[in-house]
Structure 1
Amino acid sequence: MRMYTSPDKALVIPEAKGNNHRIVAFLTHGNIKGSGLEADLLPGGADWILRDPDTNTGHLDVRVQFRSKEGHGIYIHFKGVLQIDEKWMEVFTGGPKARTLEFGENEWLGSPIIETSHPDLKWVERSAFVNALLKIGLGPSHTGIQHAITEIPVTWILDRDTQAASHGDSDFVNPDPLF
């Protein structure tokens, strides 16, 4: 999934909730390509980031909509966390030290919920996913963001602990899940 924003059109509200800052990054264009699906970003999507200046953690609230080549609608809403460090700010604001950040240079994880009218993709509405930032870079008039969205099957979670236990890897087993 690729999406683009224009930093000069972003809305920044310092101290929106207490000491936090609100950043609204309007998504101007983009697409989804993969797994037999191609779709274009429709207007109205944005990333509503609430930034904690004490920890430089951005709490993501992204809502975007796409239309497939066949005319089907796809809506993606994800919450997540982002480490807003100096490198990220350079790219987002178009600073003089801005450069493309590759996977692993920034922490950006989310959990998307997907809705669609596409009959062949209805399975996504009953599946769990994670998304991670693959790349963020500055273009001539926009910032480009590339994500990977990956399905997380329940069997993976169960198999992971079972396999670790059978190999005696007690550090890998999670006996006390968070929930």
Structure 2
Amino acid sequence: MEALLSNEISLKPLFYLKLRVGAHHNMGVTPRGYRRVAPVSGGRFEGRVSGEVLPGGTDWITLNDDQSCMQIDVRLPLKTDEGSLVILHYAGIRAGDPEILARVSSGEAVDPESYYYYVTGSFEASEPNLSWLNRLVCIGKGSRRSTGPEYAFFEVA
């Protein structure tokens, strides 16, 4: 056990992702919390793998009672610049002071260091040249801009 705890985890830059999202649908309060669903209309990713985010993705959002913590569950269809299709699934948490998060949600420019926004992700790729994506876990640090969410994704190595 100590050997595992003493090992360092390294991160390798994977890509930077910018999303365009449509108007969210307020689903109301459910037994799991306040729910919203936001369509992802497109975007772009640049890095070791680059390409476009295709329309059809969805961001499933759950907010706690005081709206200081938001759980996200996102699935996106990606198309690489070479034409390969990939599925990206990531989930995580955006948390912080409710007043700061309200400003973030309204599209106001807020320092991303003033709130917590991290996700973990995985991929599904059918092309042999991208099969390495199927065998990795990535983490992302997010920020919310007026144009939509942005993430720096890293391969956990």
In structure 2, C-alpha distance between the alignment counterparts of 1:24 and 1:55, rounded to whole Å? 15
> Hey, what does 2:53 align to over in structure 1?
41
**Residue 106 of structure 1, CA deviation:** 1.9
Q: Report the 3-state secondary structure (helix = DSSP H, G, I; strand = E; otherwise coil) of the residue aligned with 1:104.
A: helix
Alignment of 1:26-175 (within 5 A): 26-35=39-48, 37-54=49-66, 56-83=68-95, 85-94=98-107, 98-99=108-109, 101-133=110-142, 135-138=143-146, 143-153=147-157
Q: Comparing both structures, which one devotes a greater share of its residues to strand?
A: 2
Query: Unaligned stretches of 5+ in structure 1?
Result: 154-179
Three-state SS of the structure 1 residue aligned to 2:39 is strand
For the pair shown, the structure with the greater C-alpha radius of gyration is 1
- 1:15 maps onto 2:29 in alignment: yes
Query: How much does 1:57 deviate?
Result: 1.3
Q: CA deviation at 1:58?
A: 1.1
Query: Runs of at least 4 residues of structure 1 off by over 3 A?
Result: none
Residue 116 of structure 1: CA displacement?
1.6
TM-score of the aligned structures, taking structure 2 as reference length: 0.79
Aligned residues: 140
Equivalent-residue separation in structure 2 for 1:49 and 1:42 (angstroms): 20
Cα distance in 1 between the residues matched to 2:81 and 2:154: 22
* Aligned Cα root-mean-square deviation (Å): 1.9
CA distance in 1, matches of 2:45, 2:67: 32
Q: List runs of 5+ in structure 2 lacking aligned partners.
A: 1-16
TM-score (normalizing by structure 1) = 0.70
Q: Is the 8 A contact 1:102 1:136 kept in 2?
A: no
Q: CA deviation at 1:72?
A: 0.4
Asked if the contact 2:68–2:101 (Cα under 8 Å) also holds between the matched residues in 1, the reply is no
Q: Separation in 1 of the partners of 2:127 and 2:100?
A: 38
Deviation, structure 1 residue 27:
1.1
